[in-house]
Structure 1
Amino acid sequence: MKLAVFKNEEELDLAAAKSMIEVINENPEATLGLATGQTPIGLYQKLVQAYQKGQVTFKQVTTYNIDEYVGLEKEHPQSFYHFMKTHLFSHIDLNEVQIHIPNGTASNLEEETERYESLLMKAGQLDIQILSIGLNGHIGFNEPGNTLHAETHVVTLTEDTRKVNSKSFPSLAEVPKKAITMGLGPMMKAKKIIFIAKGEEKAAILKQAFKGPIDPLVPGSLLQLHPNIEVYLDEKAVKYMM
């Protein structure tokens, strides 16, 4: 594990973006596993700025998002497709056909998980996987439990996760109760994981994930097993890690 600690989010996001840009410039056809939520927004802003300055192109890049809410149309303001269009896709030269996100409104969710898993299998080893961690230790929407899934699956979100995510919705009642999420297999198979966490509220779970035992009740703890993970934290998040 390569751990880097930064004084502020600006420096953190810039360093994480630089790592991504180096991979893309070395391999213009890079495959990227992308995350949503508040944590990677700054990273995406830095990628947009780099593109605008001519420092990187995404014309041949292919992306695979980790997850999507069940029941939300792509155009819904809280869908992860809409999130990605807002914060990244609409501002770079990425071809629409090279964007892959689970379909949360598929008529047959089981078939959709199989379709998405097939895409990931065809892609093979992702060049980069962007990850963060939930307050309960989840990565993607792989929630804590006695067993964890290697493949794409439908997950029932915990009430803790729904409460945290309700910040993006008018009310808790409107937060979907299920999502489609990439399993841990493709994440752990990625050539490089760029892991980002910010803020003191993440400090305790980070200690469990990276300093505690590997435990399915803390899905993020499996990241200890990855041979090439770059961990980017701000000074508040690293509180219990040193």
Structure 2
Amino acid sequence: MNIKILKDSIELGQEAAKYSAHIINRAITEKGKARIILSTGASQFDTLKALIESDIDWSKVEMFHLDEYINLPISHPASFRKYLKERFIDKINLKSAYLVNGEGDIKQTIEELTKEIRKEPIDLGLIGIGENAHIAFNDPPADFGTEDAYIVVNLDEACKQQQVSEGWFPSVKEVPDQAISMSVYQIMQCKNIVSSVPFKVKANAIKNMMENPVSQRIPATILKMHNSMALFLDKDSAFYL
């Protein structure tokens, strides 16, 4: 694992974007296009901002994302589809974007996403780490066994509280109980993984990830098994290291 500790979230975002842009551009040079996975949440703001300002031919990039709440409309402030459209998709000219729709026929949605994501390898996954050390919405104890690409998961209380603390919902009771999430297995199929993890609220998750063996109770520990993993921290999130 390649670990970089930066001054703050802005510098972290710039360095993570620079590193990611190199991977994306290399894929475009080698095969004419790149396939990426994006995370959402407050921790990704600065990385995504810097990434869209990078010198990348976005018309040659296919984008997937990690998760979406079940039965939450795209108009809701917490919708990850809304997040990505406003902060990323609408600002560039992507080749294509495959969004996780948590409304309607969930089984069909998962089947369609699975078909698309498994057509070719994913060159880069920008994978955030939650306060409870989840990756995507794979809360502890995460399912390390399934090889399905996307699964329906139950959100734990710590995960729900993080969504409230970041301002996406006014109270825990308004956070949906379930979401469609990319599986741990599918995340680990990325050729390269970049994790942008700023802020003091993530410090304990990073400490647990680094100090413990791979465990379903600490889902992010699985990332240590990836052969091309870059972890970008700021001084706050690296507080306990």
Higher mean C-alpha displacement, 158-167 vs 113-122: 113-122
Match of 2:131 in 1: 135
Rounded to whole Å, the distance in 2 between the matches of 1:139 and 1:113 is 18
Match of 2:112 in 1: 115
SS state at 1:145 partner = coil
Match 2:41 to one of 29, 37, 40: 37
SS state at 1:78 partner = coil
Structure 1 alignment gaps of length 5 or more? none
Rounded to whole Å, the distance in 2 between the matches of 1:48 and 1:94 is 11
Matched, 1:188 2:188: yes
Rounded to whole Å, the distance in 2 between the matches of 1:186 and 1:94 is 22
Contact 1:203 1:238 in 2 (8 A): yes
Q: How many residues align?
A: 233
CA-CA distance at 1:171 after TM superposition: 3.0
What CA RMSD, in Å, does the superposition of the two structures yield over aligned residues? 1.5
Rounded to whole Å, the distance in 2 between the matches of 1:163 and 1:61 is 34
> Could you tell me the TM-score, scaled by structure 1's length?
0.91
Match of 1:87 in 2: 87
Contact 1:210 1:223 in 2 (8 A): no
Rounded to whole Å, the distance in 2 between the matches of 1:78 and 1:92 is 22
Identity of matched residues, %: 28
Higher mean C-alpha displacement, 169-178 vs 86-95: 169-178
> Could you tell me the TM-score, scaled by structure 2's length?
0.91
Rounded to whole Å, the distance in 2 between the matches of 1:15 and 1:218 is 26
Match 2:160 to one of 159, 162, 170: 162
CA-CA distance at 1:146 after TM superposition: 6.7
Rounded to whole Å, the distance in 2 between the matches of 1:24 and 1:145 is 32
Contact 1:31 1:127 in 2 (8 A): yes
Contact 1:198 1:234 in 2 (8 A): yes
Match of 1:153 in 2: 151
SS state at 1:27 partner = helix
